[in-house]
Amino acid sequence: MDQYVIKGGNPLVGEVEIGGAKNAALAILAAAIMTDETVIVENLPNVRDTNVLLQAMEEIGARVERLDYHTVKINSSGIGSYSVDYEYIKRIRASYYLLGAMLGKYKRAEVPLPGGCNIGSRPIDQHLKGFKALGADVKIEYGFIVAEAEHLQGSHIYLDVVSVGATINIMMAAAMAEGNTVLENAAKEPHVVDVANFLNSMGANIKGAGTDVIRIKGVERLHATEYSIIPDQIEAGTFMFAAAVTKGDVTVKNVIPKHLEATTSKLLEIGCEIEELDDAVRVVCAKGLKPTNVKTLPYPGFPTDMQPQITVALALAKGTSIVTESIFENRFKYVDELARMGASIKVEGNTAIIDGVGKYTGAQISSPDLRAGAALVLAGLAADGITLVEDVHFIERGYERFEEKLKSLGAMIEKVRGEKEIQKFRLKVG
Ligand code: EPZ
């Protein structure tokens, strides 16, 4: 399996282009099947998760043509099956967005029940509650969710949990239901807004996305569109924290600064300087980092997908910091790996109490999941000596050309396979 080998100690300096938002892209690709006309999606991140979802869409009969590295053309007039194969859900949970899209368009859908994952059990009860409220008959049998409806009728739905996935899945189904739907306690993430804007560009009638009440007026059909996905606020935040932990000077380009406010404010708190431009943010962290406390919350709070990255930074900040994970129940697994690099963190329930140490030392570690893997790479960039990060396939699910972008900022990192290539790297970096 591929690994990253890293020699830490270089401050990251320079500019890095941020790609399209993975978590907007997955929902938008699924929603693209809701018309029989041709849809063109631009600024698509070329990562494992989006590529697997495109394969799942081809499997049910959609025609997918890649126009360039970040642009795809989709035509779903040939879809003949409404059942998604387990293989795809096993590889990416977000295949469940095909449930809302197919239910909305075809009034029937079969998608395997997604399992839990490394950060928690991740139920989808709120998704199913929304589909039932719209009049669908939803059964779970033989590991599949089977949803079907004579017709879907708009409804007043109150989410018990602020859920990005449920908000988006229900929004897709309601977009082609009869009548009006009001979705309360909705998630407000930028990617929820992006999916609503995408659906509206296809002729849907969705208002209020980005607030906690979304109003949807169902339409008969959706039409062709050409749409560009918003920048990935989590990829951007990851590179911003890479600057923090390496005492660097990094400008993330092609971003929407407004989407990064929770991350930017924490970087200011721990002693970094921030310069905001129209579509870029510059992070300069010349001094040692300061401790602070942070609690992950639904947007616009501090994102749970940035929790491992800020923990890696705070574990280097002299003093005590507290990180509280309020979204997922098992998102501190990586702390055991970080301890092997010298971090001093005590996890009690959903809280990590951090006793900041001056530095990390390189070690052989593994990535437990996508964001934790990226955070452990940041630790390697800051560490004395060589760090070997295994299971980089997790990281490649959501980060395009991660090691190349880091190298362009001065990081000493290579993707390697086997001892020989590791030795070659060691000889190269000395
Ligand atoms: C999305 O997951 C993202 N994934 C996650 O990013 C992100 O961490 C999460 O939103 C929160 O922002 C994608 O967009 C593909 P939720 P999602 O439904 O939609 C509970 C990454 O690294 N819940 O907002 O699954 C759930 O257990 C990934 O890119 C229910 O109880 O998250 C969790 O505690 C990791 N019932 C909370 O809500 C439900 O029906 C928030 O989950 C749905 C969710």
Non-local (6+) Cβ contacts of 427 within 8 A are none
State the pLDDT at residue 328: 95
Q: What phi and psi values does residue 78 have, to the nearest 5 degrees?
A: -95, 10
Where a domain ends, among 212, 228, 244? 228
The rounded percent of the chain whose pLDDT value lies above 90 is 91
Q: Do 14 and 42 reside in the same domain of the chain?
A: no
* pLDDT tens-digit series, residues 386-410: 999 999 999 999 999 999 999 999 9
Q: Do 240 and 386 reside in the same domain of the chain?
A: yes
> In total, how many domains does the chain have?
2
Residue 130: both structure tokens together: 């929304």
State the pLDDT at residue 89: 84
Mean pLDDT over residues 254-270, rounded?
Answer: 98
Q: Do 7 and 82 reside in the same domain of the chain?
A: no
Q: Is the pLDDT confidence value at 116 over 80? A: no
For every residue of 57-73, which 3-state class applies, written as one string?
A: HHHCCCEEEEEECCEEE
Q: Do 265 and 402 reside in the same domain of the chain?
A: yes
Q: Do 15 and 26 reside in the same domain of the chain?
A: no
Q: Do 43 and 129 reside in the same domain of the chain?
A: yes
Is residue 124 within 6 Å of ligand 1 at its C-beta? Answer: yes
Is residue 161 within 6 Å of ligand 1 at its C-beta? Answer: yes
Where a domain ends, among 177, 207, 228? 228
pTM higher than 0.85: yes
Q: Do 263 and 323 reside in the same domain of the chain?
A: yes
Ligand 1 atom 21: the closest Cα is on which residue?
Answer: 305
Q: Which of 111-115, 361-365, 381-385, 401-405 bottoms out in mean pLDDT, i.e. has the lowest?
A: 111-115
* pLDDT tens-digit series, residues 163-179: 999 999 999 999 999 99
Q: What single-letter amino acid sits at 184?
A: E
Ligand 1 atom 39: the closest Cα is on which residue?
Answer: 124
Q: Is the pLDDT confidence value at 313 over 70? A: yes
Mean pLDDT over residues 232-256, rounded?
Answer: 98
Cα–Cα dist 289/216, whole Å: 46
Is residue 331 within 6 Å of ligand 1 at its C-beta? Answer: no
Where a domain ends, among 182, 201, 228? 228
Nearest-atom number in ligand 1 for the CA of 119 is 35
Q: Do 265 and 221 reside in the same domain of the chain?
A: no
Is residue 371 within 6 Å of ligand 1 at its C-beta? Answer: yes
* pLDDT tens-digit series, residues 276-309: 999 999 999 998 999 999 999 999 999 999 999 9
Q: Is the pLDDT confidence value at 368 over 70? A: yes
Q: Do 165 and 97 reside in the same domain of the chain?
A: yes
Q: Which of 32-41, 114-123, 211-220, 320-329 bottoms out in mean pLDDT, i.e. has the lowest?
A: 114-123
The total of other beta-carbon atoms located within 10 Å of residue 417's CB is 10
* pLDDT tens-digit series, residues 215-239: 999 999 999 999 999 999 999 999 9
Cα–Cα dist 295/369, whole Å: 20
Beta strands 156-158 and 180-184: pairing type? Answer: parallel
Q: Do 289 and 223 reside in the same domain of the chain?
A: no
Cα–Cα–Cα angle for 102, 104, 110, rounded to 5 degrees: 35
Q: Is the pLDDT confidence value at 352 over 70? A: yes
Cα–Cα dist 332/324, whole Å: 10
Q: Do 72 and 45 reside in the same domain of the chain?
A: yes
Domain extent for 270: 3-19+231-429
Cα–Cα dist 409/234, whole Å: 18
Q: What single-letter amino acid sits at 21?
A: A
- Let me know: does 192 contact 211? Beta carbons within 8 Å: no
Q: Is the pLDDT confidence value at 117 over 80? A: no
Nearest-atom number in ligand 1 for the CA of 327 is 34
Non-local (6+) Cβ contacts of 317 within 8 A are 270, 288, 289, 290, 291, 292, 354, 356
Q: Do 323 and 361 reside in the same domain of the chain?
A: yes
Q: Is the pLDDT confidence value at 91 over 90? A: no
Cα–Cα dist 244/242, whole Å: 5
Which CATH number is 69's domain given? 3.65.10.10
The SS3 of residue 23 is helix
Nearest-atom number in ligand 1 for the CA of 168 is 19
The total of other beta-carbon atoms located within 10 Å of residue 248's CB is 24
Active site residue 272: no
